[in-house]
Chain A
Amino acid sequence: MSKKIGVFVCHCGTNISATVDVEKVAEEAKKNNPGVSYTTTYKYMCSDPGQKLLRDKIKEEGLDGVVVAACSPKMHEHTFRNASKKAGMNPYHVEISNLREQCSWVHPDKPTGTEKSIDLVRMMTEKTRKDKSLNPIKVPVTKRALVIGGGIAGIQAALDIADAGHEVVMVEREASIGGHMAQLSETFPTLDCSQCIMTPKMVELAQNENIKLYTWSEIEAVDGYLGNFDVKIRKKARSVDLDLCTGCSSCWQVCPSKKIKSEFDMKLGNRTAIYIPFPQAIPSKPVIDREHCLLFKDARKKNIPPNDSKVCRKCLDVCPIAPVKAIDYSQEDEIITEKIGAIVVATGYKELDDTSMYGEYGGGKYQDVITGLQFERLASASGPTEGEIQRPSDGKVPEIIVFIQCVGSRDPAKGCSYCSKTCCMYTAKHTMLYKHKVHDGHAYVFYIDIRCAGKDYEEFWLRAVEEEGATYLRGRVSRIYKKGDKLVVLGADTLTGSVVEIEADMVVLASAMKAQDDAEKFAQKLSIQYNKDKFFSEIHPKLKPVESSSAGIFLAGTCQGPKDIPETVAQAGAAASKVLALLSADELEREPVVAKVDRLPAPIFSTCIGCFYCKRVCPYGAIAEEDIKARDGSVIKTVARVNEGLCQGCGLCAATCRSKSVELAGFNDEQVYAEINSVEFS
Chain B
Amino acid sequence: MSETKFEPKIIAFLCNWCTYAGADLAGTGRKQYQANVRIIKLPCTGGIDPLFLIKAFERGADGILVSGCHPGDCHYNSGNYHARRRWNVFRPLLEFCGINPDRIQFSWISAAEGGKWVETINSIVDTVRALGPFEGYHKLNTIGPEISGEAAAPSETG
* A interface residues, Cβ below 8 angstroms from B: 72-74, 98, 100-103, 105-109, 112-113, 115-116, 119-120, 123, 520, 524, 527, 529-530, 549, 593, 617, 619-620, 648-652, 654-656, 660, 664, 667, 672-673, 675-677, 679, 681-682
Contact = CB atoms under 8 A, between A and B. Distances in A.
Contacts of A105: 27-28, 30
Contacts of B38: 116, 119-120, 123, 679
A652 B75 CA distance: 12
B47 A650 contact: yes
B152 interface: no
A224 B133 CA distance: 49
B106 to A, nearest CB: 15
B79 A101 contact: no
19 contacts: A98-B39, A101-B23, A101-B27, A105-B30, A108-B32, A116-B35, A123-B38, A549-B17, A617-B78, A619-B76, A648-B76, A650-B76, A652-B76, A654-B47, A655-B47, A672-B42, A673-B55, A676-B56, A677-B59
Contact of B48 (A115, A120, A655): A655
Interface string B25-38: 11110111101001
B27 A619 contact: no
Interface in B134-158: 154, 156-158
Contacts of B101: none
List the 4 closest A-B pairs by CB distance, nearest first.
Answer: A651-B47, A101-B27, A681-B60, A650-B76
Interface residues of B, number: 49
A594 to B, nearest CB: 11
Contact of A106 (B33, B46, B156): B33
B76 A106 contact: no
Contacts of A649: 43
A619 B79 CA distance: 8
A675 B28 CA distance: 25
B67 to A, nearest CB: 13
Contacts of B72: 520, 530
A400 B40 CA distance: 64
A555 to B, nearest CB: 15
B88 interface: no
B24 to A, nearest CB: 4
B55 A524 contact: no
Given A672-B40, A676-B59, A74 B47 contact: no
Given A527-B76, A677-B157, A681-B60, 13 more contacts: A72-B24, A101-B23, A103-B27, A105-B27, A106-B27, A109-B35, A530-B73, A656-B82, A667-B42, A672-B40, A676-B56, A681-B9, A681-B154
Nearest to B29: A105
Contacts of A682: 1
Nearest to B31: A106
A672 B55 CA distance: 10
A549 B26 CA distance: 22
Interface in B52-96: 52, 55-56, 59-61, 72-73, 75-79, 82-83, 86
Nearest to B36: A116
A675 B38 CA distance: 10
Nearest to A656: B82
B125 interface: no
B11 interface: yes
A116 B154 CA distance: 20
B104 interface: no
Contact of B77 (A72, A107, A619, A651): A619
Nearest to B47: A651
A74 B21 contact: yes
Contacts of A620: 76
B49 interface: yes
A650 B27 contact: no
A593 B48 contact: no
Given A672-B40, A676-B56, A106 B47 contact: no
Interface centre among B20, B77, B156 (most CB of A within 10 A): B77
Contacts of A520: 72
B46 A593 contact: no
Contact of B32 (A100, A106, A650): A106
Given A529-B75, A619-B77, A679-B11, A655 B49 contact: yes
A102 B59 contact: no
Given A72-B27, A116-B35, A619-B78, A651 B43 contact: yes
A624 to B, nearest CB: 18
